[in-house]
Amino acid sequence: MSSIKEIIQNLRKELSEHNYNYYVLDEATISDYEFDVKLKELQALEAQHPEFYDANSPTLRVGGEVTKNFNTIVHNHRMYSLDNSYSLEDLKDWEARIRKLIDGEIQYTCELKYDGASISLTYENGSLVRAVTRGDGFQGDEVTANIKTIKTVPLKLKGEYPEKFDIRGEIILPFDGFNKMNEERVANGEEPYRNPRNTASGSLKLQDSAEVAKRPLECLLYNLTGDNLGIESQFNSLEKARAMGFKVPEAAKLTNSIDEVFEFINHWDKARHDLPYETDGVVVKVNSLFQQEELGYTSKAPRWAMAYKFKAEQVSTKLNSISYQVGRTGAITPVANLEPVELAGTTVKRASLHNADQIEKLDIRVNDEVFVEKGGEIIPKIIAVDLSQRPQDSEATEYISKCPVCETELVRIEGEAKHYCPNYNGCDPQVIGRIQHYISRKAMDIEGLGGETVALLVKEDLVSNYSDLYELTVEQLLPLDRMAEKSAENLVNGVEASKKIPFESVLFALGIRFVGETVAKKLAKHYKNIDALANASIEDLEQVDEIGIKIAESVVAFFAVEANVKIIERLKAFGVQLEISADVLANQTNKLEGLTFVVSGVFETVSRNELKKLIEDNGGKNASSISSKTSYVIAGDKMGPSKKEKAEKLGVTLISEKEFFDKFLI
């Protein structure tokens, strides 16, 4: 019989191995289901046996640790910048310079330049102990809790490794994951993120590591530093890092001359467009570490490396017209309609203009010859106007003042870049967009009804808001274009079935601005029914865990609109779930109402997340840091001494896990 400790250790090892196969090697060796089962098993064992706690257990990948202030850490070795070159000529000059400084043959390692946020990871005895951002190169912010959630970062190393070393890499967000995140944001009525790079670097400084865990970030490694690492060359160090379990892209190549470097560059200048993530150039490094040492550093960059920046692909073409799109929230987006032109392998016909300020800043006018670039952004953008070709009779662009669809006067809220059409209930794209959101999979999940049919139903005046869906009949639908008896029945049945969708999804489906899936869940759980939510004040709402002023104001504004209240009354009459179901309620009480807890450390009978859930389910509130408003700190094992000190200073009572259960829940 193996001991519990061995079982736990074996599970950790096995799960880490599957993680590695899946995320680093891209080869799944277990089904998602089996993985989940094993992970749950490990979670349960760890909860029962906190004495075997391990800060690098795969169960901690889901995050949960919240960092209010990131500690500043001085790098063990400075994180230098790189010198840039923009032409093959520049690179030749660089080669000539280093030839003067060293004798003998020079080999070069060529790597892609990954476009994300740089990170330095410190490992000791095979375990990740710290992750620090580049900062100013001398010191950065410690973001370990966030980095641990990134599945391509090994928490424990494989094979042989030096006792202590740093490894540098880049945190990136592949296009696929970036697009998915944006789809979700748009579905929640939020502005999409502009580009993967900024989103990746912004993610590192999120306070809640569970949020980071949800983002499909990756870590690509390119440099080992430390003393006595037993490596002689850059290329060799990449191979070593790979063997330890790090993700080191296979593109890296050892070359024997500057001409081979040029070949590498020419190849990737095209091939990079097929990569799943953004690269903005190539980094050429003298391969021998001995030669690197001889060359040394300038005040800001190594002499032994040079970045070659790809030219962002750019073309010029004519701007034929500007059109304006209206989104489901009423936000107006100007779009440039271009004379079709080839750019980075695709035909570009449209480019984003973002907002009125952007048009004014670049002084973009119809009939201008404009430069279009495809950078980190997915949609190409206009970066400048070729003024030499501007027609004589050209006139400055006047931004629209009325909605292009319903002609309502547009409004611009102070501090926001976009114009809005305020005709909430009478502007087709808004009406249609809201119903499309209502029926979508994560909302009411109405089968048998698609986005185009919604548009048709609105155009034919059969529905004007989502509550009208519940009165549709087969007879009404049949005369519609391409609507067979069977599809009409499916549609009506699909609508009927949506009456069973739980309250939290209904709340999301209503399309209240900034109320995405998670926020909807929080609000549903806290208020339990729509009337309580509708009556909540801004101050009330702000008391709910993780609800800020922006969301609070948006909720209050929604219920202040008479038409919305009427629609909700109708939904209620049709039998849509507007309160939390009995099963969910059965596990909830108000025992902890008015109390705020801070949960800290490791617990014996429950995990930290379970404890937090218990607090919420019983009407209490979780806070992430101790303040004078804290009622109790539930102190587990390994609670930090600074927290203890703070609690004592503020006179907040510390209670143990057992005391918590005895006092409040039994």
Task: Based on the shown chain and the rule CB under 5 A, indicate whether residue 286 belongs to the binding site for Zn ion.
Answer: no
Nearer to Zn ion, 64 or 404 (CB): 404
Task: Find the residue with minimal CB distance to ligand AMP.
Answer: 118
**Taking CB within 5 to 8 Å according to partner kind, which of Zn ion, ligand AMP, none is near residue 534?**
none
Task: Based on the shown chain and the rule CB under 5 A, indicate whether residue 331 belongs to the binding site for Zn ion.
Answer: no
Cβ–Cβ < 8 Å for 601, 639: yes
Task: Based on the shown chain and the rule CB under 5 A, indicate whether residue 403 belongs to the binding site for Zn ion.
Answer: yes
Nearer to Zn ion, 149 or 355 (CB): 355
Nearer to ligand AMP, 225 or 624 (CB): 225
Alpha-carbon Rg for the chain, nearest whole angstrom, is 29
- Taking the complex as a whole, the smallest distance from the CB of residue 327 to Zn ion amounts, in Å, to 11
Compute the CA torsion angle 138, 143, 147, 148 (nearest 10 deg): 120
**Taking CB within 5 to 8 Å according to partner kind, which of ligand AMP, Zn ion, none is near residue 258?**
none
**Taking CB within 5 to 8 Å according to partner kind, which of ligand AMP, Zn ion, none is near residue 626?**
none
**Taking CB within 5 to 8 Å according to partner kind, which of ligand AMP, Zn ion, none is near residue 325?**
none
- Which contacts (CB < 8 Å, 24+ apart) does range 388-391 have? 390/365, 391/367
**Taking CB within 5 to 8 Å according to partner kind, which of ligand AMP, Zn ion, none is near residue 56?**
none
Distance (Å, whole) CA 424 – CA 204 = 37
Residue with tokens 């017209």: 321
- Residue span binding Zn ion (CB under 5 A) among the ranges 206-214, 402-410, 467-475, 516-524: 402-410
Compute the CA torsion angle 456, 462, 466, 467 (nearest 10 deg): -170
Residues that bind ligand AMP (CB under 6 A): 81-82, 84, 111, 113-114, 118, 134, 170, 222, 283, 307
Cβ–Cβ < 8 Å for 363, 339: no
**Taking CB within 5 to 8 Å according to partner kind, which of ligand AMP, Zn ion, none is near residue 222?**
ligand AMP
Coil vs helix vs strand at 71: coil
Task: Based on the shown chain and the rule CB under 5 A, indicate whether residue 423 belongs to the binding site for Zn ion.
Answer: yes
- Binds Zn ion by CB under 5 A, chosen from 119, 421, 530, 599: 421
**Taking CB within 5 to 8 Å according to partner kind, which of ligand AMP, Zn ion, none is near residue 403?**
Zn ion
Task: Based on the shown chain and the rule CB under 5 A, indicate whether residue 329 belongs to the binding site for Zn ion.
Answer: no
**Token pair of 541, please?**
């709402």
Nearer to ligand AMP, 302 or 448 (CB): 302
- Taking the complex as a whole, the smallest distance from the CB of residue 300 to ligand AMP amounts, in Å, to 8
Amino acid present at 641: P
- Taking the complex as a whole, the smallest distance from the CB of residue 268 to ligand AMP amounts, in Å, to 12
Nearer to Zn ion, 557 or 650 (CB): 557
Residue with tokens 């994951």: 177
- Taking the complex as a whole, the smallest distance from the CB of residue 250 to ligand AMP amounts, in Å, to 13
Nearer to ligand AMP, 172 or 457 (CB): 172
Coil vs helix vs strand at 622: strand
Nearer to Zn ion, 406 or 602 (CB): 406
- Taking the complex as a whole, the smallest distance from the CB of residue 172 to ligand AMP amounts, in Å, to 9
* Measured CA distances, 51 to 125, 366, 606 (Å): 21, 70, 13
Task: Based on the shown chain and the rule CB under 5 A, indicate whether residue 431 belongs to the binding site for Zn ion.
Answer: no
Compute the CA torsion angle 565, 567, 573, 576 (nearest 10 deg): -100
- Taking the complex as a whole, the smallest distance from the CB of residue 520 to ligand AMP amounts, in Å, to 38
Distance (Å, whole) CA 372 – CA 313 = 8
Distance (Å, whole) CA 412 – CA 402 = 12
- Taking the complex as a whole, the smallest distance from the CB of residue 455 to Zn ion amounts, in Å, to 15
Site size toward Zn ion (CB under 5 A) is 7
Nearer to ligand AMP, 172 or 332 (CB): 172
The answer to whether 113 is a known catalytic residue is yes
Half-sphere exposure of 575 (CA within 13 A, CB side): 8
Closest CA relative to residue 480, chosen from 491, 493, 470 = 491
- Residue span binding Zn ion (CB under 5 A) among the ranges 34-42, 411-419, 424-432, 434-442: 424-432
Phi, psi angle pair for 385, to nearest 5°: -110, 140
Question: Which among 5, 38, 113, 247 is annotated as catalytic?
Answer: 113
Q: What are the residues whose beta carbons fall under 8 Å from the beta carbon of 237, sequence distance 6 or more?
A: 223, 224, 229, 231, 289
Closest CA relative to residue 382, chosen from 310, 309, 327, 320 = 320
Distance (Å, whole) CA 651 – CA 626 = 10
Nearer to Zn ion, 75 or 419 (CB): 419
Compute the CA torsion angle 563, 569, 573, 577 (nearest 10 deg): 110
- Taking the complex as a whole, the smallest distance from the CB of residue 78 to ligand AMP amounts, in Å, to 11
**Taking CB within 5 to 8 Å according to partner kind, which of Zn ion, ligand AMP, none is near residue 114?**
ligand AMP
Tabulate helix, strand, coil % of the chain (nearest 5).
Answer: 40, 20, 40
Q: What are the residues whose beta carbons fall under 8 Å from the beta carbon of 498, sequence distance 6 or more?
A: 439, 444, 445, 446, 576
Task: Based on the shown chain and the rule CB under 5 A, indicate whether residue 406 belongs to the binding site for Zn ion.
Answer: yes
**Taking CB within 5 to 8 Å according to partner kind, which of ligand AMP, Zn ion, none is near residue 166?**
none
**Token pair of 433, please?**
């967009």
Nearer to Zn ion, 331 or 551 (CB): 331
**Taking CB within 5 to 8 Å according to partner kind, which of ligand AMP, Zn ion, none is near residue 134?**
ligand AMP
**Token pair of 521, please?**
């869940």
Closest CA relative to residue 516, chosen from 211, 209, 149, 177 = 211
- Taking the complex as a whole, the smallest distance from the CB of residue 279 to ligand AMP amounts, in Å, to 8
- Taking the complex as a whole, the smallest distance from the CB of residue 203 to Zn ion amounts, in Å, to 35
Distance (Å, whole) CA 655 – CA 217 = 38
Binding site for Zn ion (CB under 5 A): 403, 405-406, 408, 421, 423, 427
Active site residues: 113
